[in-house]
Amino acid sequence: MSARTIHKFGQWYIAGISCRLLCLAVILLGEELLASGLEARSYAVPFFVDLRDPVCTSLAIRLQVKEYNEPFVQFRANRREPEEVAFVEMLEALHKEDVDRATRFIMPDKEPNESDRQEIAKEMKGLIRPPHGLMRDLSGKDIGSVFVYEQLRIGKDTRVFTFGVTRQPAGPPMFFGLRCLPNGRYQWPLFEIVGPLEGIVIDTLVTGCLYSERINKPFTYQVLIPSTAGTGGEVYLQFNGVRYDLGIVSGTLDGTRPEDEAARFYQEMSLLAAADSLEAVADLYTPRSRQTYLRELAEHNRSPDAAAWWAGVVSGFSDPERRIRFVMNADPLYVVFIKNPLWAGLQQEYIIRDPNTGKLAFTNLNRQDILDSLLHEKKVKAALEAVVLGRADTISTPVGRSAGSEPNVPQLAVRTDRHEQTGSFTGPAEAGRLIFEKTQLDIGMVPVDTVRHVEFRFFNAGKGILRLGVFACCGVSAKPSKQEFGANEDGTLVVELRTPSNPGSFEKGVFVSANDPANPKMELTIVGKAVETIAWSPNLLEFITTDKPSAQHEITIKSLDGTQFAVRGIECSDDLVAAEFDPEVRSTEFTIRPKLNLAKASTLGSGRAALRIHLDHRDYNEIEIPVRLIPPLEAVPSQIFVFDWQPNQIISRVVRLKDHQQGLTEVGGLQVQAVSTSKGSKANLISVRQEDNTLELYLQIDPVEARGDAGMLSDELIVKLTDGRRVHIPVHVFRPGTKFKLER
């Protein structure tokens, strides 16, 4: 089947599964399934046993798909099934920020207390506010731009809805999940989606990336490409990645890896967007995706609130707290994961390498871009054809490392030990018989964010050899005492789990597959309640660069279980903050008064650090409190970028000055005395608008023409206030055709 045929008659669907597990699933759906509305099929899906032990096993899941592709208003008016009614009510609760209504979805079988409501309200704010008013559009006059795309039903108890917003030209569609409970009610698993799922990749190629902050090395996972010729073989496309902690604005790269190139490419786009050069961003897209981007950009610009919406988007791109956390490499496809401090999970961008020119380009979820690029890769195409035509001779190659593999090329491995989609196993006539003493363990009350070990005991009651496979995810790993067990032999499954970081009841699952015809798949559960035994405040320390210690900077640490502890050490990155303590004193409560290193603060000017307080409490070795350093007078944006500048072109920009120290209540207020530049460019202040402790300046800059072959001008805008303070804002101007490169 050619790439064009695949694009026309099928679609890649990827679904994040929330029926007590979050995992990767790739399903190829034919036109006959979509045309008939809501139908069901089963697919063999690869799961990882453990990120540190990448062994794949096949499980069968049931999937149903129903397409809508209709405006939300129409979808709301045509309420068809109970889950659709629940979906509408849940979204409207989000729209209204109605905590009580949302609580009924999250905890339908429990009477929530005030602590529950506060936690839900906190999570709702993290979900609602970052999309710049996205949720407010769900029940407003401009709701015509919001569409519900399709409904996916996964397994027996989970429905996942996905919907997209045409006003969001650069980015994936958002999705929300509803779980059908045994009593017929519907639950919105907010914490399951927003909390533990660190990365949600909503694309037609990859989704539900289970990315853990605790893994400090690159990991590999694979995606199943089902065979279309019925040969019985399965192809696994390997994905490699590199972990980063890289600033969007200031992070530097050595450029020795292809992942570095993709990360730098995203930095380039971010700086273009931060400079409000949204048309220039279009040049970084593939041809098909560029058309979509420009069409959506033009449509959005006709909206009455376009200016305010884009102002938030532009300012977000220049946020120094945004960081690149991971780059997934499936050359020619790269997925860049971005951590936004306002967003609960990871955002992502998709980058494609042109197989002919080798250049990178963004793709805004265009299937044809991805499939064309993948099929242009000779090695990938040859491996695919070998499987589809039944000519595969690379049998039983270990998954994740094909024979003759080369770095940075997607490796394909053919598996012949395929399980049937019904879940039955092929094997000897006398199979094993798996019997667990318990399938659920209650570990009671345990501290939050701690590691616990539990054991499930079992034995082989059959006459044959019992073979086991294990899958666990979401902070859980499991390992049997061995892989094969003889008749009447006992065994133990040791499970390691990390308790949730938020207090409350939890349930963790482990899935066991066996060559037992009666129980080919079993689910084991661990339940308990996570409780806090230490509390501290504040959650963030903010210092102005000239700050002296005050009561607002005091840190309180309190034992909630009455256990005495001692403070064993205090350290801060960049030596920005220090504090006095006595390591010999033990108590149930401490008050720490941190002091700002004024010399360091003056040198840094602004930025972030982390204050770590080491304890000897039985449940906490240390606590970490973020530290934010704020300049007394802050400029937003902190730098100005201009691309494709033509001689005699006047640059217009809005700069906001926020006074964190004196405020506008001072006599005379905050006033601008003069605006100038350091290298001779002309700067004119057109207007000033005052709001609270912020001045909004509308400026025009006439740059001095760049000399030489550099094609670039760097100047500095200087804003002088009547109280003598000055703000320096770097200005970078690029001529057309100048190759933009970040400084290393």
Residue 125: per-residue pLDDT: 59
Asked whether residue 240 is domain-assigned, the answer is no
Mean pLDDT of 555-581: 89
Domain co-membership, 617 together with 665:
no
Is residue 587 over pLDDT 90?
A: yes
Q: Please, which pLDDT band fits residue 692 given cuts at 50, 70 and 90?
A: confident
CA–CA separation, 450 vs 499, rounded Å?
Answer: 5
Residue 690: per-residue pLDDT: 81
Which of 639, 641, 637, 636 lies closest to 733, judged by CA?
641
Asked whether residue 295 is domain-assigned, the answer is no
Residue 545: per-residue pLDDT: 77
Is residue 543 over pLDDT 70?
A: yes
Residue 32: per-residue pLDDT: 25
Asked whether residue 249 is domain-assigned, the answer is no
Domain co-membership, 516 together with 573:
no
> Across 585-621, where does the E strand assignment appear?
589-592, 595-596, 607-615
Mean pLDDT of 568-583: 88
Q: When comparing pLDDT for 340 and 613, which is higher?
A: 613
pTM of the model: 0.40
Strand partners, 536: 557
Residue 351: per-residue pLDDT: 83
Is residue 338 over pLDDT 90?
A: no
The whole domain housing 696 covers 633-734
- Under a CB-based contact definition with an 8 Å cutoff, are residues 577 and 595 in contact? yes
Could you say which of 531, 548, 570 is where a domain stops?
531
Mean pLDDT of 113-117: 77
Residue 698: per-residue pLDDT: 87
Asked whether residue 145 is domain-assigned, the answer is yes
Domain co-membership, 622 together with 659:
no
- Under a CB-based contact definition with an 8 Å cutoff, are residues 524 and 456 in contact? yes
Is residue 98 over pLDDT 80?
A: no
Could you say which of 488, 509, 531 is where a domain stops?
531
What are the strands of the beta sheet with 484-485, ordered from one edge? 440-447, 521-531, 504-514, 466-472, 484-485
Residue 276: per-residue pLDDT: 67
204-208, 289-293, 429-433: the lowest-pLDDT one: 204-208
Write out pLDDT tens, residues 280-303. Answer: 788 888 776 777 777 766 766 655
Mean pLDDT of 403-420: 27
Is residue 392 over pLDDT 90?
A: no
State percent of the chain over pLDDT 70: 53
Is residue 497 over pLDDT 80?
A: yes
Residue 58: per-residue pLDDT: 31
Q: When comparing pLDDT for 232 and 308, which is higher?
A: 308
Asked whether residue 500 is domain-assigned, the answer is yes
Domain co-membership, 540 together with 641:
no
Question: 78 phi and psi, to 5 degrees?
Answer: -105, 60
Domain co-membership, 24 together with 153:
yes
Containing 312, the helix (H) or strand (E) segment is: helix 306-317
Is residue 99 over pLDDT 60?
A: yes
CA–CA separation, 530 vs 443, rounded Å?
Answer: 10
Asked whether residue 331 is domain-assigned, the answer is no
Domain co-membership, 518 together with 539:
no
| CA–CA distances in Å: residue 244 to residues 194, 207, 260, 409 | 22, 20, 9, 21
Q: Please, which pLDDT band fits residue 161 given cuts at 50, 70 and 90?
A: low
Average pLDDT score over the chain: 65
Task: Write down how long the chain is.
Answer: 744
- Under a CB-based contact definition with an 8 Å cutoff, are residues 531 and 445 in contact? yes
Mean pLDDT of 157-171: 48
Instruction: Kindly give the interhelix angle for 82-95 and 114-128, rounded to the nearest 10 degrees.
Output: 80
Is residue 575 over pLDDT 60?
A: yes
**562: domain CATH number?**
2.60.40.10
Torsion over CA: 26, 29, 34, 39 (sign): negative
Strand partners, 577: 596
Could you say which of 481, 515, 531 is where a domain stops?
531
Asked whether residue 226 is domain-assigned, the answer is no
Burial class of residue 29, CB neighbours in 10 A (0-12, 13-18, 19+): middle
Distance of CA 19 to the CA centre of its chain: 20
Q: When comparing pLDDT for 215 and 333, which is higher?
A: 333
Domain co-membership, 33 together with 161:
yes
Domain co-membership, 503 together with 483:
yes
Asked whether residue 723 is domain-assigned, the answer is yes
Domain co-membership, 526 together with 541:
no
Q: When comparing pLDDT for 350 and 419, which is higher?
A: 350
**718: domain CATH number?**
2.60.40
Residue 48: per-residue pLDDT: 28
Highest-pLDDT range among 483-492, 550-559, 682-691: 483-492
Domain co-membership, 511 together with 601:
no
Domain co-membership, 179 together with 54:
yes
Which of 172, 164, 144 lies closest to 302, judged by CA?
144
Domain co-membership, 111 together with 126:
yes
CA–CA separation, 189 vs 90, rounded Å?
Answer: 11
Residue position matching structure tokens 């040049």: 283
Is residue 117 over pLDDT 80?
A: no
Residue position matching structure tokens 């996942």: 160
Who contacts 252 (Cβ-Cβ below 8 Å, separation ≥6)?
742, 743, 744
Q: When comparing pLDDT for 561 and 472, which is higher?
A: 561
Domain count, the chain: 4
Mean pLDDT of 76-96: 72
Query: Encoding tokens for residue 373?
Result: 């690029």
